[in-house]
Amino acid sequence: MKSAVLFAHIQLVTPLPDGPVLSLANAFVAVAEGEILYAGPYEDAARQRLVERVGSQYETYAGQRKILWPAMANAHGHIPMTLMRNQADDANLHTWLFDLIFPREKHLTPEHVKNGTALGMAEMIRAGTGTAADMYYYSEAVVEAAIEAGMRLNVCFDGKTEGPDGKTHVQTGEVERFIQLCRFAGDGRIVPALLVHSIYLYEPYMYRELAQMAADQQCFVQVHIGETAREVSECLAAYGQRPAVQLAEFGFFQTPTVAAHCVHLDDQERSILAGPGILVAHCPTSNLKLGSGIANIKALLEAGAKVGLGTDGAASNNNLSLYQEMKLASLLAKGTSGDASILPADELIRMATLTAQQGLGFASSGCIAAGYAADLQILDADRPSLWPLGEPNAALVYSSEGSAVESLMVDGQWLMYKHELKTLDEEKIKHEALRSAVHLNRLA
């Protein structure tokens, strides 16, 4: 159900498409029918827009000591991996993936995936995230969980099965069926993508098939690029080119693409990734935890790339909080450059909201202004860790945490209202996810 609400006397923070990040105290924001009708300093104007749209049938949300800002978008993750949280730690990426993760994933069922996704979505909603990217298996189960949760989702589909020649191929019919499912079932909240895991997982002919499929279907691609130094050296040995260059040569980057990690890049790769329709998903916690390195976000931004933030999966983070990623991304950029003015709070706010939403295919999300979708969160600033508030933009990045989020709205629908999840049964989800996790981790 889409709610009609007047947020009154609230601290508003929002990036603007062609301007700075706006911070407005004592603001009024009116939403109805999934749309932001008004955001600004005037109560009368806000009420008038609501009356024109829904008469007197709207709620007033008292905004004193609260911050209203856009719902965040998690630009990269493997949501069902919540089932492997705290089960595969303190190992380098290659060992982690091949020795700890793949043996568990061998036993996955759609039921596991649905339960792990629902858990991840409950966690993300509680931490102010309304949109996620997902790269995993049994994508129909992920879509089902997203529709139940009410979140927006940019979701990968594998679509690779063995053909009559005994080799794996990407199946046109399967891909088309999944794209149709996303477009019709999700009420505009689900964007389909093609799964291209990385440059190191398939044979060369598969990359050509995948690039052709993305072009034919004009669909998104999600891919890991330059996550580790080993990936780069193996790619150089196999192809004589670095990963992003080789992917471009195979025909990728002609359709919208989410490029995850991008830790190990050279200038040529950065200029490729600055191309139109490409979103770089910076995952600082996961890159540190797997010992992969630190992405040079300053250089990517200077090259003109659009950069969002991702948590990656809970098996390598080990949570799904973008508040943590915002702060860490800023601190890493400052610490590695020796320049504290790099990646200021406003930049992180923009990366976590507007840039990521648009890069994931949700052009009307990520900004609190008339005409945008009603995707927003309310943060309770009336707590010791946010007191005194000072500059609200700095407070969001440097002293907030996910638990301070009290409400989250996506497309005008409350997913959490004053700390209570409205679309998901949290106790049931925890119980079912635990059952799936115990089963999966015992088999590994």
Name the residue nearer to Zn ion (CB basis): 32 or 132. 132
**Least distance (Å) between residue 196 CB and Zn ion:** 12
Residues 6+ apart with CB under 8 A from 203: none
CA dist 417 and 326 (Å) reads 24
What would the two tokens of residue 104 be? Answer: 């568990």
In one letter, which amino acid is 330? Answer: S
The site that binds Zn ion (CB under 5 A) totals a number of residues, namely 1
**Least distance (Å) between residue 83 CB and Zn ion:** 15
Q: Is 1 in contact with 27 (CB distance < 8 Å)?
A: no
What is the x/- site pattern for Zn ion, positions 201-220, by CB under 5 A?
--------------------
**Least distance (Å) between residue 260 CB and Zn ion:** 5
Name the residue nearer to Zn ion (CB basis): 58 or 96. 96
What is the x/- site pattern for Zn ion, positions 311-350, by CB under 5 A?
-x--------------------------------------
Question: Looking at residue 354, what DSSP letter applies?
Answer: I
**Least distance (Å) between residue 282 CB and Zn ion:** 12
Name the residue nearer to Zn ion (CB basis): 144 or 312. 312
**Least distance (Å) between residue 261 CB and Zn ion:** 7
CA dist 76 and 118 (Å) reads 17
Using CA atoms, how far residue 147 sits from 58, 137, 193, 286, 333, in Å, is 25, 17, 17, 27, 36
| Closest residue to Zn ion: CB criterion | 312
**Least distance (Å) between residue 281 CB and Zn ion:** 8
Residues in region 284-313 near Zn ion by CB under 5 A: 312
Name the residue nearer to Zn ion (CB basis): 36 or 73. 73
Name the residue nearer to Zn ion (CB basis): 79 or 190. 79
CA dist 207 and 245 (Å) reads 13
Name the residue nearer to Zn ion (CB basis): 322 or 349. 322
10 pairs with which residues across the strands?
Answer: 27
Name the residue nearer to Zn ion (CB basis): 105 or 312. 312
**Least distance (Å) between residue 146 CB and Zn ion:** 18
| Number of C-beta neighbours around residue 432 at 10 A | 18
| Number of C-beta neighbours around residue 180 at 10 A | 11
User: What are the E-state strand segments in 78-189?
Assistant: 129-134, 152-157, 160-162, 168-170
CA dist 133 and 154 (Å) reads 5
In one letter, which amino acid is 277? Answer: G
What is the x/- site pattern for Zn ion, positions 88-107, by CB under 5 A?
--------------------
Report the interface residues with Zn ion, using CB under 5 A.
312
